Each structure stands twice: as C-alpha cells, then as structure tokens.
C-alpha cells in the first residue's frame, strides 16, 4: 500500500522491514526486551551511584553521568517503538511520531559525539596539565559544558522542518524505524536544501567534535612518549574506555549510514536487523560496562 499522490499529505508511513520478521517475532521481542531491560538497569545504576556518592562529584564523573543519561534517552527513543512494531501486524507509524523519533535519534548522536569530545579534552587536561586541572576544569565549568552540549541538539529541529516541507510520492520506508534520509528519498519536490543542510549538520555533529578529540590525543600521545612506563600505563588505562566508546559509536553510525543508503537486499535479514540497530544497542549497553569496570572509584563503590 503506497500513497502516490502529492496532492494529499502522507498520513502515515509504512515500515516494510518488519515483513521479514514473520514467525520469529516472539524470539526478536524477547531479545529486544532483554537488551532494553539490561540497558536501563546498568545505566540507571551508574547514574545513581554517581549522584549519591559525593566522592564522585567531580567533572569527569559529571561527563560520565551525562553520557549515561544520553544512553537512556537514545535507547528509549528506539526500544519501546521497536517492541510494539515487532508484535504488531500492521507496521505503520504516524507522521508526527516518525519525525519525533528522527529528532530523538539526531539529538542523541549529537550529544554523544559532543560528550565524547569534551571527555577527551578533560582527559587531556588531567594528563597533560595535572597542576592546572582543578583550576581549568571546575565543577561549574563542567556543568556549563554539559548544558551547552544538550542545548546544541535543538538545532536538529531544522532537519525536521526542512523535511516536513517536502511533497512525498510515497509512504513506504525500508527500515525498522524512521530515518530522515529515507523520507527525503521519497520526495517529489526539490531536496537540494535538505542535502546541503544535511552535509552541514553532519559536519557539526561529527567532524567538529573530532577536532578536540584528535588534538587531545595527539597531546596525550606526545606526553606518553616522553613519560615513564608507570605514567604511560596510567594514561592508557584512563583513555582506553573513552577510545573504545568512541570507536564503537563511530562504527555503529557508519553501519547505520551504509544500511540506509545502499541496497542490502542480498544480505541476510538477521544481519541487516543487527547492523541497523547496532548504534542503538551496543553503545548504551557497552558504555556503562566499560566505564564502570575501568574507573576504580566506581568499581570500588559497586564492590562494597
């Protein structure tokens, strides 16, 4: 069922990727529900630990808390919708709900990359400028950084506004959830402005945060090359969780871009299912585990 008339607005979108779920729907539902429950438990646990223990009221843990809150935000934008669609016989989504989900995904990605960028700068100050760290990175400064990170995601509304103005020639999305690129592909009207702003927004969300990350790690690497083995090992232990998180999220976003922009009809449906959900599952589940296990203060509190 496809709406081909541009004279009447599209009332809803159809997600045809669920057609392949078939008799495995209950199996997928149990797996998705288990993953969502695990994500909620581990992230909420670490948020509570950081908020309750005054010894963790430091800039580094404030950034971690912001990261864990964002994982809850991103996964909640995906999993309840996913669970309903898996069990449903009619895989439709209203236009307002679809664009709301797109905004949530875009803002989640924006906050994630920016948060990781600020965390890399924080590690740079702690390792390369230890004597000035408490002066340069105060609790108030960290709070200001976190506030700016979250407020900056408001600009994702521009993407939604630009897509809402388009006249669509169809309403079928070959996806498990709403994706802005999929909607733009359905447009009968000119999409040059959407494409130009999309490139600009991607630069802001991805490339700009990468600059402080590269700067920070170049400085840290320079210090490590001339430092003692003990200092070098401490720096590696401090930076490793951040690097793992950054690489995991980057690969997840890359998988999402590939599966949305290229024809993957020859790829097994289960693999396509996993690749399209990678960034929304692995990052929220992996971050609290790697940071919680690596940070000695958090690990000691949890073991008490």
Beta-strand pair 92-94/12-15: antiparallel
The reported pLDDT for the residue numbered 243 is 87
Domain ranges of the chain: 12-303
> What is the number of other CB atoms lying within 10 angstroms of the CB of residue 281?
22
Q: How far is the C-alpha of 40 from the C-alpha of 150, rounded, in Å?
A: 20
Enclosing H/E stretch for 177: none
Q: How far is Cα 139 from Cα 110, in angstroms, rounded to an integer?
A: 23
Residue-level pLDDT at 148: 94
pTM tops 0.85: yes
pLDDT given at position 295: 66
| Residues contacting residue 12 through CB under 8 Å, at least 6 positions apart | 92, 93, 94, 95, 171
CB-based contacts of 252, cutoff 8 Å, min separation 6: 278, 279, 280, 282, 283
Mean pLDDT per 10-residue interval, the chain, length 304 residues: 48 83 82 94 91 86 94 94 89 92 93 93 89 89 94 91 89 87 88 88 83 88 78 77 87 77 65 76 89 69 60
CATH number for the domain formed by residue range(s) 12-303: 1.20.1070.10
**What is the model's pLDDT at position 118?**
94
């Amino acid at each position: 069922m496809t709406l081909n008339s541009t004279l009447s607005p599209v009332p809803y979108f159809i997600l045809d990727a669920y057609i392949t779920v078939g008799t495995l729907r209950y199996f997928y539902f149990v797996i998705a529900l288990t993953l969502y429950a695990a994500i909620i438990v581990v992230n909420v646990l670490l948020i509570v630990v950081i908020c309750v223990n005054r010894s963790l009221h430091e800039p580094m843990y404030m950034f971690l808390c912001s990261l864990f809150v964002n994982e809850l935000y991103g996964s909640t934008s995906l999993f309840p919708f996913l669970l309903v669609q898996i069990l449903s016989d009619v895989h439709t989504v209203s236009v307002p709900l679809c664009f709301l989900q797109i905004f949530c995904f875009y803002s989640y990605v924006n906050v994630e990359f920016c948060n990781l960028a600020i965390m890399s700068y924080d590690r740079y100050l702690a390792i390369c400028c230890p004597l000035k760290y408490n002066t340069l990175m105060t609790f108030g400064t960290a709070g200001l950084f976190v506030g700016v990170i979250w407020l900056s995601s408001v600009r994702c509304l521009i993407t939604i506004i630009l897509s809402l103005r388009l006249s669509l020639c169809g309403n079928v999305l070959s996806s498990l959830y709403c994706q802005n690129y999929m909607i733009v592909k359905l447009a009968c009207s000119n999409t040059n402005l959407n494409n130009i702003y999309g490139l600009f927004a991607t630069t802001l969300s991805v490339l700009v945060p990468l600059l402080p990350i590269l700067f920070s790690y170049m400085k840290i690497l320079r210090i490590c090359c001339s430092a003692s083995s003990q200092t070098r090992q401490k720096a590696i232990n401090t930076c490793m969780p951040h690097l793992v998180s950054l690489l995991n999220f980057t690969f997840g976003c890359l998988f999402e871009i590939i599966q949305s922009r290229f024809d993957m009809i020859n790829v097994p449906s289960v693999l396509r299912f996993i690749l399209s959900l990678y960034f929304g599952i692995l990052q929220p589940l992996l971050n609290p585990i790697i940071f919680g296990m690596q940070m000695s203060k958090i690990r000691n509190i949890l073991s008490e």
